[in-house]
Amino acid sequence: MVKVALIQQSCLEDKKSNIQKSFNLIKQAASYGAELVVLPELHCSQYFCHKEDTNYFDLAEPIPGPTSQVFSDLAKALKIVLVISLFEKRTAGLYHNTALILDKDGSIAGKYRKMHIPDDPAYYEKFYFTPGDLGFKPIETSVGKLGLLICWDQWFPESARLMALQGAQMLIYPTAIGLTPEDTPEEQNKQKEAWIISQRAHAIANALPVLSVNRIGQEQNNGQIFWGNSFIAGPQGEILQMASTDKEEIIMQEIDFSKTDEIRRIWPFLRDRRIEAYSGLIQRFID
């Protein structure tokens, strides 16, 4: 059993005030008894990928680095496991979109470099981030083996499955996704619903709980409106908690990892995978 908290927040331009805001929310979650706290994607700044601008590389930091250190210190002080998301500078000209798990003793339990990188209008991530080279590997922590992924990975059943096949006990998606103001309300709603369904389906296919943490608010004039709706799903894809579309808030849930074992007895999908017929999955297209 682990008590998790998702921090759904808006982001400010200034890094310091941003980190201060996250700190306050994390402390609040810890005071409610959270043992695992998750922040949204790239929570130390506004979402800079809305345009391609070389100045934004200034926001990046090495890992470990000053920002990972202040969060490590906080995790240690509060004795919580903390999932943070940073713009990683690996060397000059080499950057990643990286999430970290900081354990209760402040150590870095592991990191994940975003593997699937999007690029579409207002999400110009291929300009900033080299696709991750650490693969899909769950991270061992003091609260369990965690399948940490990031945002765009949400759309790929492959990444969720690979985590499950390596014994992940939970899937975690820090996220920054929003609606396009010019779209019709119908289209906006379709997109948000698809985002939720896609992740609930990873829970179902793998009988794993899913934590998805999004930001809220509009950061640029006419820019995307981050749609919140952070949620916690159980291992049958059932929604356990869901946040609002537009409010800063913490959602919490006690997660029972033993449910996975129970659900896989009635839905033994891992038993029946036809792996000898799956080789096409590692092709780009079968033409």
Amino acid identity, position 100: L
182 binds its own copies (CB under 8 A): no
Task: Specify burial of residue 180 (Cβ count, 10 A radius: 0-12, 13-18, 19+).
Answer: middle
Stretch that binds its own copies, among 27-35, 71-79, 95-103, 230-238 (CB under 8 A): 230-238
Angle (CA) 31-36-40 rounded to 5° is 100
Calpha distance 249→230 (Å, rounded): 9
Q: Which helix (H) or strand (E) holds 199?
A: helix 185-206
* DSSP structural state of residue 132: P
Amino acid identity, position 185: P
283 binds its own copies (CB under 8 A): yes
Nearer to its own copies, 92 or 286 (CB): 286
Site string for its own copies, 142-161 (x = CB under 8 A): ----------x--xxxxx-x
Calpha distance 124→148 (Å, rounded): 22
* DSSP structural state of residue 136: S
Site string for its own copies, 99-128 (x = CB under 8 A): ----------------xxxx-x--------
Residue 41 annotated as catalytic: yes
Q: Which helix (H) or strand (E) holds 171?
A: strand 170-174
Catalytic residue, chosen from 89, 104, 111, 114, is 114
* DSSP structural state of residue 260: H
Nearer to its own copies, 53 or 183 (CB): 183
Site for its own copies (CB under 8 A): how many residues?
Answer: 54
| Shortest spacing between CB 84 and its own copies, in angstroms | 23
Nearer to its own copies, 69 or 191 (CB): 191
41 contacts 150 by C-beta, under 8 angstroms: yes
| Shortest spacing between CB 178 and its own copies, in angstroms | 14
285 binds its own copies (CB under 8 A): yes
279 binds its own copies (CB under 8 A): yes
21 contacts 8 by C-beta, under 8 angstroms: no
Amino acid identity, position 275: I
Nearer to its own copies, 1 or 282 (CB): 282
Instruction: Summarize as ranges the residues that interact with its own copies (CB under 8 A).
Output: 115-118, 120, 131, 135-136, 152, 155-159, 161-162, 165-167, 190-191, 193-194, 197-198, 200-202, 204-205, 236-238, 266-270, 272-287
Catalogue the active-site residues: 41, 114, 151
